[in-house]
Amino acid sequence: MPAPECNLLHEWLRRTAAARPHATAIEEDGRATSFESLFGRAAALARSFLAHGLRPGDRVALVLPKTTEAVVAVFASLLAGAAYVPIHPRWPQARRQAVLDDCAARLLIDEENGRLRVVDRATGDSTLLAEFGADGGDAEQWPRVDPAATAVLLFTSGSTGLPKGVVLSHRAVAAFVGWTATEFRMTAQDRIATPAPLGFDLSTFDLFNMALTGATAVLVPENIAWMPRFLARFVREARIHCWYSVPSILASLLDEECFAHSDLRLILFAGESLAPAALARLRAAAPGARCVNLYGPTETNVVTWYDVPRNFQPSDPLPIGRPCPYAEIAVDPVSGELLAGGASQMDGYWNRPEETARAFATIEGRRFYRTGDRVSLAADGNYLFHGRLDRQIKRRGFRIELDEIEAALLRHSQLAEAAVVAVRDAADATLIVAFVCPRRAKPPSLAALRAHCALQLPPYMLPDRIVFVDILKKGNRGKIDYSALAQAAALTQAAEGHVRGD
């Protein structure tokens, strides 16, 4: 295994390819790609990028699902000294374009008829690539990259109505991945599932543990990620050893007898809360696996962790745990907000200096990110999560700013006001309810509003219910009373037998 002290992510792959050239790096639908082939193809694609004029520090937008070709493009971008910017192909065109313009991507990589296409955004030229061969080259031939250089921009939901880019360096990603490789004893014999999309910070675990440790990354077909029966069969038949996903996916597998008949030794979850009752069932179903709750926003990746005991009970609290060795944790004494610092911290938000400044606090000369999460420190040294200080929610692990949904609704010319709240259903899942006031007596149709939202928001941000009202309830200062709206939404849903209020 390459020394984790080497903080260049593509260098991990180069060294592993040299040490274990014929071992399987990626497995997808029964197709195996060796480390030698993966690095060679990434090197050949990187040379194509450089031929297009890509320079160190540029951005490469990857409008790709998580396939072998996408992984090749990730490492090609890093080899060429650039940062990769994942953009899900199912995002609406307006959102994709907003991200492309914001990050000023030099190249855009997508697929056409099953082949990679490179679009030079400076000239408008596009090149459809044939199957590119292996061309590893000498390490000295590649651009020199500083570990502090940006490796990836991850765009998340933004409270201003537009997604914002989280800037993560090689060093920041390496801090998290290097720790997981050591703490969870990752080896070349491990088979790691890859359920998280490229634009999700969870994906850094599988891609770069593969590169660092020589483990095999087994790509999860995107079309079964939320189909428990097929996903459970995949875990068993693909002989998965290590799993990392949002809790809602794990919970969906509990009724499929997935864990008792699998080879899982490590189950990691993060991105949202897991109900203690579901966690107790998971521990009982997978007694031989190590279960770990990982916590941290995209801006810091994982900063605390909790090893779930094998005898965990439904009545037990589920802490977010203790600080990771590379992280620093503080708590605002007034608000109870968790402040996170350390090596895995982002550099800032792309092109948003004022928002970056607001996101950080300085304590005794050290920089801490304001997570917006309320916590307390328990007597046993573990931190407990108590909710948000703002209107940000999590759904299926995706971070959602309700204000961004409001902004999308208000772009409809026939709406005067909009307010969006979140409620919980009987299964403890998050549902989004939008209240809208039309400008005229005849409001737009529900179908028209849904179509309008679908053109601007990814599927996981679309409102589950849109309610037309004459006026929005306001508080004493004339501001929207979100608490009252959330209560009304919960009561209405509960009356219909769909949703339970908090």
What are the residue boundaries of the structural domains of the chain, listed by start? Answer: 1-169, 322-388, 399-500
Q: Which comes out higher in pLDDT, residue 257 or 194?
A: 194
pLDDT digits (tens, 9 = 90+) for 50-87: 988 999 999 999 999 999 999 999 999 999 999 999 99
**pLDDT-based confidence at 420, cuts 50/70/90?**
very high
> Residue with structure tokens 């090689």?
170
Q: Tell whether the model's pLDDT for residue 495 goes beyond 60.
A: no
**pLDDT-based confidence at 498, cuts 50/70/90?**
very low
* Residue 140: per-residue pLDDT: 60
pLDDT digits (tens, 9 = 90+) for 387-408: 888 888 888 778 898 988 988 8
Q: Which residues, including other chains, have CB under 8 Å from residue 139's CB and lie 6 or more apart?
A: 11, 14
Q: Which comes out higher in pLDDT, residue 428 or 279?
A: 279
Q: Tell whether the model's pLDDT for residue 491 goes beyond 90.
A: no
Q: Decide which of 2.30.38.10, 2.60.120.680, 3.30.70.2860, 2.30.30.30 is the CATH code for 322-388.
A: 2.30.38.10
Q: How far is it, in rounded angstroms, from Cα 61 to Cα 223? A: 23
* Residue 132: per-residue pLDDT: 57
* Residue 19: per-residue pLDDT: 96
pLDDT digits (tens, 9 = 90+) for 317-374: 899 999 999 999 999 999 999 999 999 999 999 999 999 999 999 999 999 999 999 9
pLDDT digits (tens, 9 = 90+) for 22-60: 999 999 998 999 999 999 999 999 999 998 899 999 999
Q: Which comes out higher in pLDDT, residue 397 or 194?
A: 194
Q: What angle do CA 201, 39, 187 make, to 5 degrees?
A: 60
- For 404-424, what is the mean pLDDT? 88
Question: Which architecture, in CATH terms, is 399-500?
Answer: 2-Layer Sandwich (3.30)
**pLDDT-based confidence at 497, cuts 50/70/90?**
low
- For 262-280, what is the mean pLDDT? 91
Q: Which residues, including other chains, have CB under 8 Å from residue 297's CB and lie 6 or more apart?
A: 340, 369, 371, 372, 373, 399
Q: Decide which of 3.90.1330.10, 3.30.413.10, 3.40.50.12780, 2.40.30.10 is the CATH code for 1-169.
A: 3.40.50.12780
Q: Tell whether the model's pLDDT for residue 282 goes beyond 70.
A: yes
* Residue 40: per-residue pLDDT: 94
**pLDDT-based confidence at 430, cuts 50/70/90?**
confident
Helix (H) or strand (E) holding 120: strand 115-120
* Residue 50: per-residue pLDDT: 92
- For 368-387, what is the mean pLDDT? 94
Please state the three-class secondary structure of 360-371 as a single string.
EEEECCEEEEEE
Tokens of 83: 């940062």
pLDDT digits (tens, 9 = 90+) for 465-481: 999 998 888 776 667 88
Instruction: Sort 42 into a burial class: Cβ within 10 Å, 0-12 / 13-18 / 19+.
Output: buried
Q: How far is it, in rounded angstroms, from Cα 339 to Cα 332? A: 7
Q: What is the rounded average pLDDT for all residues in the chain?
A: 90
